[in-house]
Chains A and B, each alone.
Chain A
Amino acid sequence: MSAIASGAARPSLPTRGAGRVTQWNVVRSEWTKLWTLRSTRWSLLVAFVAMAGLGPLVAAVQMGHWANMDPHERLTYDAINTGVGGYHLAQLAIGVLGVLVITGEYSTGMIRSSLMAVPRRLPVLWAKLAVFGFVTFVLMLIAALISFFAVQSIVSQHHVQHSLGDPGALRAVIGVALFLTVLSVLCGGLGAMLRNTAGGIAAFVGLLFVLPGISAILPSSVNDAVSRYLPLNAGVTVASHSFDSAHHLSTWGGFALFCGYAAAAAVGAALVLRRRDA
């Protein structure tokens, strides 16, 4: 055992100075970190299955009840919305994982290793958000395409299907991936600001899902004025083909606001990461 120290440490001297900390190196490191946790892989699988599977499931149920649906419902049936509807479930998995990707490092102490290797700190945050955002976009885009085509083939029995070339169809499919990607950044930012898993998830659920509920019990004049600016209502415009325009901003206006929320969370996260002790 005593030979251990002298044995292998020196021959590798060429590695000294081989590399410096660059943003790209940190991205590679975060890529490794993301895929080498079993919990992350499972969560991504859940998000993928949810995004790809919920739409077809709903479509199958709807087609089974087609005869009982009232004529107006049948007339306004939006198979594109159903095709990308998996986000209702996927957003929960992506949001929770977005928080966990950051807070998992705090709860285990890993953050100290991360920041000792990258003492300027911010490259770690940017790399985490970029890697998780990229993975979210690619996986959710593929899942949304699977869902879209599956739904169209299911609903074709009643001839309400759309093709990807129909107006707004491709935009909704890409839009749902964009919505979930920006959501992942928002939740990563929340996690980095709060540095605590329970707190981060509570903030995510509170901002996205509880605020609209509170808004709904306010006087309707207030609700009408504010609800379109709430994060979820702003974000889903890009993830839907048709929506209630009285309570939503325009497609890209809403999405821009949602991006603004995510950017604010990322900036807040950067400030906290720079200033606070690790």
Chain B
Amino acid sequence: MIAVERVTKRYGDKVAVEDLTFTVKPGIVTGFLGPNGAGKSTTMRVMLGLDNPTSGRATVNGRPYRELRAPLHEIGAMLEARAIHTGRSAYHHLVAMAQTHGIGRRRVREVIDLVGLGEVARKRAGGFSLGMGQRLGIAAALLGDPATLILDEPANGLDPEGIRWIRNLLKGLAAEGRTVFVSSHLMAEMAQTAEHLIVIGRGRLIADTSVADFVAQASHGAAVLVRSPQASELRDELAGPDVIVTAREHGLLEVLGLTSAQVGEAAARAGLVLHELVPQQASLEEAFMQMTGGAVEYHAGTPAGPGAEPVKEAV
């Protein structure tokens, strides 16, 4: 289990992570979500002993990473930025990593096959495409066959085939009972793979919740769309102190403040005909944007609010 306890990390005057506390539960995929610049990579670097927290601490199975005697066997990590010498071949990079733990070359060849790099393993890693680089990073993370994996934006820059591969890989790893902690700035990607979510914005914890709860919470107070040939009568029926009804187009109403069940029951009581009754579930991306809207570090021109484009490469 990985525990982050009241971690604060400052770089000079800039606060990257502030008083962050959460635990990564074993045996499932936990998504680590936040806009770019939210402090995800910093948090992971603190977890991996690369950066010293200004205060607080992060532990792996109860001990700080720096004190692990055989870290590759306990926790495998792939950082967002490349962490490989560009002049060395993938094979020799992995051999050098493996040797620190006395791991044999058989295992090196195994992980190379596992990530499908067999044909290019002897080539200089500097010439690798982004996708090949990500695969090499994952191969390195799997070298010690660790029970826990930390992956920083593994899907970043991958083509659809690569994204599908990562998704299946993560699911497969979790199915084997491994703990997977994976960061992303894309909510939709997380919804496909993660069971649990840690959401941060501007270095602070915003949510620590299951994906299902996250969506339900975000959808709370969402609109209901109702289409009826008797729209104006229906409008009168629905009127109430906390209810806002707006006509979207002829015969189509948007109702705020009532659930779809309440709208349907009201229509039945009044004997009105409904052609459509659609609860507007917030998309995950919108829910995410709504939640982090105030915590986006870099805005792309206009402030991001609900419904705005996800802030992707705004830096």
Residue positions of A touching B, CB distance < 8 A: 1-2, 4-10, 12-13, 15-22, 25-26, 28-30, 32-33, 36-39, 104-105, 108-113, 115-121, 275, 277-278
Contact = CB atoms under 8 A, between A and B. Distances in A.
A7 B164 CA distance: 17
Contact of A4 (B69, B86, B140, B165): B165
Most buried by B among A7, A30, A109: A109
A142 B52 CA distance: 44
Interface in B31-54: 45, 48-52
A110 B83 contact: yes
Interface stretch (B103-111, B216-224, B233-241, B260-268): B103-111
Nearest to B168: A2
23 contacts: A5-B168, A5-B169, A5-B176, A6-B172, A7-B114, A8-B110, A8-B113, A13-B145, A16-B73, A18-B101, A21-B69, A21-B101, A28-B99, A32-B92, A105-B85, A108-B82, A108-B86, A112-B81, A113-B84, A116-B72, A119-B71, A275-B52, A278-B50
B97 interface: yes
A7 B114 CA distance: 7
B96 interface: yes
A117 B92 CA distance: 15
Contacts of A2: 168, 172
Nearest to B161: A1
Contact of B97 (A16, A29, A39, A120): A29
Nearest to B104: A15
Nearest to B172: A5
Contacts of A113: 83-84, 93, 97, 140
Contacts of A6: 172, 175-176
Closest 3 pairs (CB-CB, A-B): A5-B172, A19-B102, A36-B92
Contacts of B111: 8
Interface of B: 45, 48-52, 65-73, 77, 79, 81-89, 92-93, 95-97, 99-104, 106-107, 110-111, 113-116, 140, 142, 144-145, 164-165, 168-173, 175-176
A261 B116 CA distance: 48
A25 B85 contact: no
A20 B70 contact: yes
B52 A109 contact: no
Given A36-B89, A117-B101, A109 B81 contact: yes
Given A7-B114, A37-B87, A120-B66, 10 more contacts: A6-B176, A9-B114, A9-B142, A13-B145, A16-B73, A17-B70, A37-B88, A38-B87, A113-B93, A275-B52
Given A5-B176, A8-B110, A119-B65, A112 B88 contact: no
